[in-house]
Structure 1
């Protein structure tokens, strides 16, 4: 039997995006009823899903945290458990946790133009349940929670040890005194390897292509000084702005003066690795900085483990797996008790939820994105996706505030639906993400489309977006109406 609950807003996902949306929407629109549907059993989203050793933020926690809920710990790079606990506390403090329905897996959302409402269908512990709402906010991220990406390695089925993907890390996996091979060169591998090296007999990081690494102190002297000089409400926005500025500065160097940044990163590696180490073999990528994300290594921890002999870098291609490990194309063999495939994510729009308008299914990947958070000709639907070159929360908060402002504007004028409309305006398409990461290249059309002109241009520039938001015109390229009025079903 299907039960139904009626609210003003359905928010999908109880991670940073969903918690932030709930706060901003009700801050701007007091009295708005909402429910957060979370398919997992706990708050946290990504920070609950990923539980591998060493999981941590890959940007400053002072920009990753919520702007209205200061991070009170000292570290600038936080672990996954700490971030999840922080979100849980924030949700409880603001009463948001009372609105969360756990174990609710959303499967589809259908818009009814006769009533201007969404019917959101979820399975709650396997039982169908419908939530009817005026608005839907997707805080479900951009990747497939069920399956990470693992290449088809020849002979993988013959490996006699343990084969694991970090997205589904077994909590009882014992790697102490074991030989572990980690395949990958992204942020997951760079955070996982130092943690494994603390107790494993030996860890080998096997990469096909090097990546750029940037070290930063885990604890910031600047943060300590500002925190002592000012009360928390004053110190937090100062720290947040400066950290965002620093991250933007690194990205600016990468784009405008790549040789300088490459020299700086190489110099950092040379200073932290043993004399004569093959830096250019293992840490000189064949691409420019920020063509892929820079990987953060707090206090140069990876370099420290390499110097201590606990981690070995191997830059080579795999030929095949066998019962005892991996044979490389050179003929060399890597013995392994455990092989970790830190080989990436699979992109997925809107959490894989089926979207339809009056029963007609639409493909989000066929639609242009409006101001990075709404879909062309889709009413009252919002989707939160963070930056590729800065902290996720920087754009998540802009998205949540823009959503809250639109809801307020509509309520004040009696509108019951609103949607962005491109119409017959010609629009050149470009990639929404300006990085060449494997998960992007493998699925270039997995996400909605970005145009090249505002407001259809998805930018990776927090400061430009923040300025635009300050002077945002809510009515730009928007159509407003009331129940019963037709909505175009753009192809």
Structure 2
């Protein structure tokens, strides 16, 4: 079924029932639908998506140059080869996802413009009741489901995070956030300031450079970046040899995953050496006289925050050509013509882009209740980052910080399908995870150790996230290399799984 046909589906009837309800038709939700179709073909399911089409981030974000910040050989699904450049545009990623939907008949399961407001679990009925609104018609929608699969991502799509700066109201230019980029924004010949130093800023700056009069990346502190040619030589060589794309996909994925694992290990074991190597690479592009120490030398060790890949070094090439520049300083206040910095310097601007992050949104702004009692999600303890104590028949996809999100979406997909089949074999309708007797004295900790990983969005929203335990299985470890072997071996009859 085509996207247009799906959009024209009549308003959902009241109280429909499905075995599984998937929240979100982004990269995780489409992947989950595929796994259900192929691994649990007897299960009925529906995907509810708040937006008017599939794609999640790759649909809602419209800023110039939007692209992946990790390679598509691992960000792509394991079951569908990626044949394009490793760093892909949003349009290329959505085309790929659309092919997955079309090739596997998933369109008939997806209902767009369905914004979920509440999800209530009833132990008496062993099912979830989901209330939503069909934005296309305004009609209320009620659906019940045996199992809830949360694939909505982890941040609020409707609005990004923007700090409160003095004097913003006085600025006579335009202020935009990457998450809500206005259609048709004309920046030709304009002076642009991009506030931020993460993956979004590193994408926007080179995309606007050349067309804008000048683009300034204004950062409070530097970020680590890796550069590389936007191609995989091994993939190109294998294609020259006529190797099938499915083989190329698997071989290249394994190569990249091994290299990522070794690089991450080096970041922890020899951080100064890794840091020196990355800075030497930038120095070779920007020249020996560029102030690498001020603008591109973070105060933290590599991989304590996400490292974005800059394809073909386009950000740094734009700086080297003089089309863009980097200013490392703090904002004192805005005024009519731009931004006054604490150093005393003033930056003139026609457009200011606030690439300053997003709001963590752990459950999709959905009001959850368990047997009539509001769910205090932050009081639960996570089981391997995908199930939660006291929350029956629900799984959540939360990807990796140091590897592609989709790697974990595939692993969780396998786990959920195996769990559903195990429940059917046991003849049970309910499962939840619970701390075992041997966990009684286990230390309960925040979702992640800030010394391990500490980007601003996590630090601002840590109080919203579930807790982790000191023991391995009660954590989201971020270790794909270990989880890929352990997830298939999880004992579904272990004492942490409680069936009723």
Given the two structures, how large is their TM-score scaled by the length of structure 2? 0.94
Structure 2: distance between partners of 1:476 and 1:25: 24
For the structure 1 residues 353 and 427, does the alpha-carbon distance in structure 2 shift closer, same or farther, using more than 3 Å as the test? farther
Counterpart for residue 464 of structure 2: 446
How many Å apart are 1:427 and its aligned residue?
2.7
How many Å apart are 1:233 and its aligned residue?
1.9
- Residue 247 of structure 2 aligns to a residue whose secondary structure is helix
Moved more, 330-339 or 238-247: 238-247
- Residue 146 of structure 1 aligns to a residue whose secondary structure is strand
Counterpart for residue 487 of structure 1: none
1:178 aligns with 2:190: yes
Counterpart for residue 189 of structure 1: 201
Structure 1: distance between partners of 2:238 and 2:469: 41
Structure 1: distance between partners of 2:339 and 2:199: 22
Counterpart for residue 217 of structure 2: 205
Structure 1: distance between partners of 2:269 and 2:488: 27
Structure 1: distance between partners of 2:183 and 2:441: 51
How many Å apart are 1:242 and its aligned residue?
1.1
Alignment length (residue pairs): 481
1:12 aligns with 2:23: yes
How many Å apart are 1:152 and its aligned residue?
0.4
CA contact (8 A) 2:415 2:488 kept: no
1:290 aligns with 2:297: no
- Residue 477 of structure 1 aligns to a residue whose secondary structure is coil
From 82, 106, 119, give the equivalent of 1:109. 119
1:44 aligns with 2:59: no
From 336, 342, 355, give the equivalent of 2:355. 342
Structure 2: distance between partners of 1:130 and 1:282: 53
How many Å apart are 1:136 and its aligned residue?
0.5
Counterpart for residue 270 of structure 2: 257
From 16, 22, 27, give the equivalent of 2:38. 27
How many Å apart are 1:479 and its aligned residue?
3.9
How many Å apart are 1:32 and its aligned residue?
1.0
Structure 1 segment 34-113 matched on structure 2, within 5 A = 34-73=45-84, 75-113=85-123
Post-superposition CA distance 1:400-423 (Å, at most 9, x none): 110010001011121101000115
Post-superposition CA distance 1:278-335 (Å, at most 9, x none): 1111001111111111121111111100110000110001110011110111221111
Post-superposition CA distance 1:369-390 (Å, at most 9, x none): 1121111121110110001111
Structure 2: distance between partners of 1:387 and 1:19: 18
Structure 1 segment 350-369 matched on structure 2, within 5 A = 350-369=363-382
Structure 2: distance between partners of 1:175 and 1:451: 49
- Residue 223 of structure 2 aligns to a residue whose secondary structure is coil
Counterpart for residue 489 of structure 1: none
Structure 2: distance between partners of 1:53 and 1:246: 30
- Residue 133 of structure 1 aligns to a residue whose secondary structure is strand
Structure 2: distance between partners of 1:214 and 1:391: 15
Structure 2: distance between partners of 1:405 and 1:206: 48
How many Å apart are 1:31 and its aligned residue?
1.9
Structure 2: distance between partners of 1:446 and 1:284: 31
- Residue 105 of structure 1 aligns to a residue whose secondary structure is strand
How many Å apart are 1:440 and its aligned residue?
1.4
Is there any run of 5+ residues in structure 1 with no aligned partner, and where? 483-491
Counterpart for residue 481 of structure 2: 463
- Residue 291 of structure 1 aligns to a residue whose secondary structure is coil
Is there any run of 5+ residues in structure 2 with no aligned partner, and where? 1-11
How many Å apart are 1:361 and its aligned residue?
1.0
Structure 2: distance between partners of 1:247 and 1:160: 45
Structure 2: distance between partners of 1:428 and 1:58: 35
Post-superposition CA distance 1:454-476 (Å, at most 9, x none): 32121011011112113221122
How many Å apart are 1:23 and its aligned residue?
1.2
Structure 1: distance between partners of 2:195 and 2:422: 50
CA contact (8 A) 1:213 1:295 kept: yes
Counterpart for residue 414 of structure 2: 401
CA contact (8 A) 2:80 2:246 kept: no
Given the two structures, how large is their TM-score scaled by the length of structure 1? 0.95
CA contact (8 A) 2:22 2:47 kept: yes
CA contact (8 A) 1:2 1:127 kept: no
From 426, 447, 464, give the equivalent of 1:432. 447
Moved more, 344-353 or 61-70: 344-353
Q: RMSD in angstroms over aligned alpha carbons?
A: 1.4
CA contact (8 A) 2:447 2:462 kept: no
Counterpart for residue 131 of structure 2: 121
CA contact (8 A) 2:386 2:412 kept: yes
